[in-house]
């Protein structure tokens, strides 16, 4: 079992338990308030890994912990469990294509 203990908030998070679904919109709370879409979810012996695309910058990102907004405690990735929002498969495919194009363009510039 992969568990994370957050001492300051007195919470335990099970990293083997999936919190969100593919195509779901989540958000970063803290130093930026960007929104992300979950385009893939993988699991290995270290737990669940969420593969994300930033909806503003089209940069790829990953997260291992996404918590409900009602459990907000500091900087992190959260989802609003009272107002769950999903993108369609077509919208996510377009976003993924833009993100891959953005990544290829940045690779060329290096």
Q: Tokens in use for 14?
A: 């099970």
Q: Tokens in use for 41?
A: 């979810």
The predicted structure's pLDDT at residue 103: 93
Name the residue among 64, 66, 51, 41 with its Cα closest to residue 96: 51
With cut-offs at 50, 70 and 90, classify the pLDDT of residue 16.
Answer: low
Our separate counts of H helices and E strands in the chain read 1, 8
Read off the pLDDT of each residue in 50-65 and give the average, rounded to a whole number.
94
| Angstrom distances, CA of residue 63 to CA of 18, 19, 40, 107 | 12, 11, 11, 23
The predicted structure's pLDDT at residue 73: 76
Read off the pLDDT of each residue in 57-63 and give the average, rounded to a whole number.
95
pTM: 0.81
Read off the pLDDT of each residue in 15-41 and give the average, rounded to a whole number.
84
Q: Tokens in use for 69?
A: 């907004």
Read off the pLDDT of each residue in 72-80 and give the average, rounded to a whole number.
84
């Amino acid at each position: 079992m992969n568990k994370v203990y957050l001492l300051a908030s007195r919470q335990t998070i099970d990293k083997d338990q999936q919190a969100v679904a593919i195509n779901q919109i989540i958000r970063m709370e803290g130093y930026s308030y960007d929104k992300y879409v979950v385009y893939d979810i993988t699991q290995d012996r270290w737990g669940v890994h969420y593969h994300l695309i930033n909806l503003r910058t089209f940069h790829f990102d990953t997260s291992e912990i996404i918590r409900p907004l009602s459990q907000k405690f500091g900087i992190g990735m959260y989802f609003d469990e009272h107002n769950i929002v999903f993108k369609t498969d077509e919208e996510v495919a377009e976003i993924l294509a833009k993100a891959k194009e953005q990544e290829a363009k940045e690779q060329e510039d290096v």
